[in-house]
Amino acid sequence: MLVSFADASLGPLKAPCSLYAARVWAMQQLQGVTENPGIEAEMLLAELLGKPRVYVLAHPEVALDVHPLEIYVSWIARRLSGEPLPYITGHVEFFGFEFSVSPAVLIPRPETEGLVEAALDWLATHPEATVVDVGAGSGCIAIALALRAPFVQIWATDISPDALVIARKNALHHGVEDRIHFLVGDLLEPLPVPPDLIVSNPPYVSEAEWPALPLSVRQEPPVALLGGRAGLDVIRRLLVQAVSRLRPEGCVLVEIGETQGSAVRTLACELFPGAQMAVLPDLAGKDRILRLALRYRGGSQPGNSRSRNRGA
């Protein structure tokens, strides 16, 4: 029996429908939505079938019956509305690991993998450090660090309880739920211990940049993206809190916008005079990470007259 699916924006499809026909149709629909319509069409078909993407290409003759075709058409409609692909599939790959995502969390991006790499570089010489992932979201940074640095103590904070539900789910999936302490709260405020390493992908999109972002990005949580008028509000508050919290000889790694390197470095130098500063580029050569390392051996922190021992 042939069943037609017709919609003014989606066009007609008939079940049974071959993977090849469904893929070609979806590619045509997605042309104006994504730079990779073919890849996205294949990824959604692979998700539908529970198969790797290569299966879709290797078996174009496989037929979709009525129910799976209905689901596929609905997924394409959601993508055409601007919904991000990972919210449709419910997962995304980051640093070689798979993470669940939902509209409660920011979608992990390849640029942020550089933040994990920078943290692992520092942890190579501080293998038993206390680490906090600030603005943990899906937990991808904290979990990747837990998987790659087995002896560190990890805390993860986020202002959104719903985000931490997803983070805990991901920690359980990767078997590190006992290694990470999740705390609801603003930046460093809920942290009960001073950290050796602060890692954060904070909101850094400016108010002027927001309207020009792709629709799919603007469907992610604004609280995880918007950083105030110049995009620096949250970064500034994080660094101010770090002045009195970071342990001697500690390190701060913060993801930043590609145009913010100079301003963030100036801000960090004002708050941490004498610290080692660097703005690290991403793979495209754009400013992406502020690296701030303390080298105070007397136990005193910049802007803080109290001295603290490691056990404080």
**Which of these, 285, 287, 284, 310, lies nearest to 297 by C-alpha position?**
310
240 and 109 housed in the same domain = yes
What are the tokens at 305?
């007259």
**Domain assignment of residue 70, given as a range:** 3-81
The model's confidence at residue 305, banded by pLDDT at 50, 70 and 90, is very low
Domain end, chosen from 81, 103, 121, is at 81
Domain end, chosen from 63, 81, 99, is at 81
Tell me the pLDDT tens digit for each residue of 225-250. 999 999 999 999 999 999 999 999 99
| Number of domains present in the structure of the chain | 2
- Dump the DSSP string for the chain: --EEE--TTT--EEESEEHHHHHHHHHHHGGGT-S-HHHHHHHHHHHHHTS-HHHHHH-TTPEE-HHHHHHHHHHHHHHHTT--HHHHHSEEEETTEEEE--TTSPPP-HHHHHHHHHHHHHHTT-TT-EEEEES-TTSHHHHHHHHH-TT-EEEEEES-HHHHHHHHHHHHHTT-TTTEEEEESSTTTT-SS--SEEEE----B-TTTGGGS-HHHHTS-GGGTB-SSSS-HHHHHHHHHHHHHSPTT-EEEEE--TT-HHHHHHHHHHHSTTSEEEEEE-TTS-EEEEEEE----SSEETTEEEE--TT-
Task: Give the CATH number of the domain where residue 187 resides.
Answer: 3.40.50.150
Instruction: Judge whether 129 and 196 are in contact, CB under 8 Å.
Output: yes
Instruction: Judge whether 244 and 302 are in contact, CB under 8 Å.
Output: no
Whether pTM exceeds 0.75:
yes
107 and 245 housed in the same domain = yes
The model's confidence at residue 306, banded by pLDDT at 50, 70 and 90, is very low
Task: Tell me the average pLDDT across 201-230.
Answer: 96
Residue 167 lies in a domain: yes
Task: Tell me the average pLDDT across 63-83.
Answer: 96
d(CA 1, CA 112): 49
Return mean pLDDT, the chain. 92
Query: Beta strand pairing status for 287-293 and 276-281?
Result: antiparallel
11 and 62 housed in the same domain = yes
Tell me the pLDDT tens digit for each residue of 162-194. 999 999 999 999 999 999 999 999 999 999 999
68 and 101 housed in the same domain = no
The model's confidence at residue 299, banded by pLDDT at 50, 70 and 90, is very low
Domain end, chosen from 81, 104, 119, is at 81
